[in-house]
């Protein structure tokens, strides 16, 4: 079902007209109300009246997470605090969190956009939706929550954690839709099998997963283990939270809500647009945000745009699954390495579990990368010769994929830390 066909199936021409009007109004508002943007525009000699076409977007300055931190907590709000009805913040893994505010109007838009994403992933008012994202300052839980209520689904706001209780509720409340991070979905799936529960006795039909990058192989694994249709969705607190983009049931890229977000894909080094369809860093300009509009926000997420029409009928452009983050990218021996590349290889090799960790160390003057891979019990307790064969296979495949040699260590099932939120895949022990 398409939640708002009057927008989601607009022709390119109508959409671009709407985008331009909304861009002009956003640029005016930030110039009037956000000192940070007024200063930046003045420095670049930009008058809001200069924005006459969508092409003029590229004259505007970028916004980074650093800019937001420097204006902590409320410096980039475009409305007075009395207009703000909700405040969220990003996790702040590297120091100061970024704080985002919402007006009543923003919350209405947000729930509507999340409703679009949920509808695209198969959810209707007949569904029972278990939201196993964390509730709190993180936008995931509350973001999905209000969208699900907007659709009229029955919402179970269970939040993350306590996996066995999640499964008991899933059984008793006849949950049809699971929402969480993809890595947590796998933890839930494994626990269901450990508890000896027949997955076919559950009512699960759909899963909507987001908040971290995952591979196509991981989707297949989740679908098979949980017997669901799994779709990917994308959002980030600096821009809104979940609801920026989501996959339809064609499972072929995430439709971006382009009437609310104007996107570009740039080369993170040169800051110039990449060739159409090439991979680069996603940059987002909000078109309707009242409290916290952002101009050309550098997401650090790597993706590419898919402009071919989608069979579902939505006309919004799609982005491919996020392939990694520019700041997740490891540079090892001068080569760019993304955790997602390693994950994709591991999924193809029989006997390995989808849990892994990448450790980077500097030995003397050389970087060394070790991939810890969980293996099934049979293999872990198998004879040395067979273990060595598996190690060699993994090493060979990883070296071919990455272009550098890699150490591989097999570890027993459940050795690596399990996450109820975003999985920690990389441990970089190097000191720069
Ligand atoms: Zn589609």
Query: What residues pair up with 332 in beta bridges, in sequence order?
Result: 335
Residue 6 exposure: Cα atoms within 13 Å on the Cβ side? 0
pLDDT at 329 (0 to 100): 73
CB 358 within 8 A of CB 342: yes
Percentage of residues in the chain having pLDDT higher than 70: 98
Please give the distance, rounded to the nearest whole angstrom, from the Cα atom of residue 182 to the centre of ligand 1.
Answer: 21
Secondary structure of residue 360 in the 3-state scheme: strand
Please give the mean pLDDT across all residues of the chain: 93
Please give the distance, rounded to the nearest whole angstrom, from the Cα atom of residue 148 to the centre of ligand 1.
Answer: 20
pLDDT at 287 (0 to 100): 98
Please give the distance, rounded to the nearest whole angstrom, from the Cα atom of residue 247 to the centre of ligand 1.
Answer: 7
Please give the distance, rounded to the nearest whole angstrom, from the Cα atom of residue 261 to the centre of ligand 1.
Answer: 17
28-34: average pLDDT:
98
Percentage of residues in the chain having pLDDT higher than 90: 74
175 contact partners, CB below 8 Å, separation of at least 6: 128, 129, 130, 156, 169, 202, 203, 204
The distance in angstroms from the start CA to the end CA of the chain is: 51
Query: What residues pair up with 371 in beta bridges, in sequence order?
Result: 358, 408
Q: Which domains does the chain have, with CATH numbers?
A: 1-326 (3.40.50.12780), 330-428 (3.30.300.30)
Residue 92's pLDDT band (boundaries 50, 70, 90)?
A: low
Please give the distance, rounded to the nearest whole angstrom, from the Cα atom of residue 286 to the centre of ligand 1.
Answer: 22
How far apart are the C-alpha atoms of 178 and 16, rounded to whole Å?
35
350 contact partners, CB below 8 Å, separation of at least 6: none
131-159: average pLDDT:
96
Please give the distance, rounded to the nearest whole angstrom, from the Cα atom of residue 9 to the centre of ligand 1.
Answer: 10
DSSP 220-251: HHHHHHHTSEEEEEEEETTTTEEEEEEE-TT-
Long-range own/partner contacts, residues 353-356 (CB < 8 A, 24 or more apart): 353/413, 354/186, 354/218, 354/221, 355/186, 355/416, 355/418, 356/416, 356/425
Cβ-based neighbour number of residue 59 at 10 Å: 12
Please give the distance, rounded to the nearest whole angstrom, from the Cα atom of residue 320 to the centre of ligand 1.
Answer: 12
Write the pLDDT tens digit of every residue in 316-326: 999 999 987 77
How far apart are the C-alpha atoms of 282 and 299, rounded to whole Å?
6
pLDDT at 429 (0 to 100): 85
How far apart are the C-alpha atoms of 28 and 212, rounded to whole Å?
34
CB 259 within 8 A of CB 247: no
Query: What residues pair up with 281 in beta bridges, in sequence order?
Result: 266, 302
Residue 164's pLDDT band (boundaries 50, 70, 90)?
A: very high
Which residues are within 5 Å of ligand 1 (an ion), measured at CB? 248, 250, 310, 312, 314
CB 372 within 8 A of CB 412: no
Reading the block at residue 274, the tokens are 């990449």
How far apart are the C-alpha atoms of 54 and 89, rounded to whole Å?
30
Q: Is the pLDDT of residue 328 over 80?
A: no
Write the pLDDT tens digit of every residue in 209-224: 998 888 898 999 999 9
Cβ-based neighbour number of residue 27 at 10 Å: 24
Reading the block at residue 103, the tokens are 């007006």
Q: Is the pLDDT of residue 63 over 90?
A: yes
Residue with tokens 């990218």: 329
Secondary structure of residue 208 in the 3-state scheme: strand
Please give the distance, rounded to the nearest whole angstrom, from the Cα atom of residue 310 to the centre of ligand 1.
Answer: 5
Q: Where are the beta strands (DSSP E) in 364-432?
A: 366-375, 407-412, 426-428
Please give the distance, rounded to the nearest whole angstrom, from the Cα atom of residue 313 to the centre of ligand 1.
Answer: 6
Cβ-based neighbour number of residue 275 at 10 Å: 10
Q: Is the pLDDT of residue 273 over 90?
A: yes
Please give the distance, rounded to the nearest whole angstrom, from the Cα atom of residue 151 to the centre of ligand 1.
Answer: 19
C-alpha radius of gyration, the chain, whole number: 22
How far apart are the C-alpha atoms of 41 and 61, rounded to whole Å?
7
pLDDT at 94 (0 to 100): 54
- Measured CA angle at 137 (ends 132, 138), to 5 deg: 45
């Amino acid at each position: 079902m398409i939640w708002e066909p009057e927008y989601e199936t607009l022709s390119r021409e109508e959409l671009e007209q709407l985008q331009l009007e909304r861009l002009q109004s956003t640029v005016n508002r930030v110039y009037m109300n956000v000192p940070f943007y007024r200063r930046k525009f003045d420095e670049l000699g930009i008058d809001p009246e200069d924005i006459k076409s969508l092409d003029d977007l590229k004259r505007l300055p970028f916004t980074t997470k650093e800019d937001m931190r420097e204006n902590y907590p409320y410096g980039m709000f475009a409305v007075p605090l009395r207009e703000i009805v909700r405040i969220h913040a990003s996790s702040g893994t590297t120091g100061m969190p970024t704080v985002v505010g919402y007006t009543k109007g923003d919350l209405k838009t947000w729930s509507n956009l999340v409703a679009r994403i949920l509808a695209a992933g198969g959810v209707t008012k007949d569904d029972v939706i278990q939201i196993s994202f964390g509730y709190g300052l993180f936008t995931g839980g509350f973001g999905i929550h209000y969208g699900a209520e907007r659709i009229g689904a029955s919402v179970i706001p269970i939040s993350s954690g306590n996996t066995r209780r999640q499964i008991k509720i899933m059984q008793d409340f006849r949950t049809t839709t699971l929402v969480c991070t993809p890595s947590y979905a796998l933890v839930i799936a494994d626990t269901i099998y450990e508890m000896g529960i027949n997955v076919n006795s559950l009512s699960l039909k759909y899963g909507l997963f987001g908040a971290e990058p995952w591979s196509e192989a991981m989707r297949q694994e989740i679908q098979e283990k949980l017997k669901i249709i799994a779709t990917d969705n994308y959002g980030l607190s600096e821009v809104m939270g979940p609801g920026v983009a989501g996959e339809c049931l064609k499972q072929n890229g995430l439709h971006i809500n382009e009437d609310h977000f104007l996107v570009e894909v740039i080369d993170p080094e040169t800051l110039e647009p990449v060739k159409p369809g090439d991979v680069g860093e996603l940059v987002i300009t909000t078109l309707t945000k009242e409290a916290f509009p952002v101009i050309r926000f550098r997401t650090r997420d790597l993706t590419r745009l898919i402009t071919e029409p989608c069979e579902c009928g939505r006309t919004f452009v799609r982005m491919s699954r996020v392939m990694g983050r520019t700041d997740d990218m490891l540079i090892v021996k001068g080569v760019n390495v993304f955790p997602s590349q390693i994950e994709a290889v591991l999924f193809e090799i029989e006997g390995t579990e989808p849990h892994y960790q990448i450790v980077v160390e500097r030995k003397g003057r050389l970087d060394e990368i070790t991939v810890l891979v969980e293996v099934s019990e049979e293999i872990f307790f198998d004879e040395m010769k067979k273990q060595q064969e598996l190690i060699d296979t993994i090493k060979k495949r990883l070296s071919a994929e990455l272009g550098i040699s890699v150490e591989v260590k097999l570890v027993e099932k459940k050795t690596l830390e399990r996450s109820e939120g975003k999985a920690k895949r990389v441990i970089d022990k190097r000191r720069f």
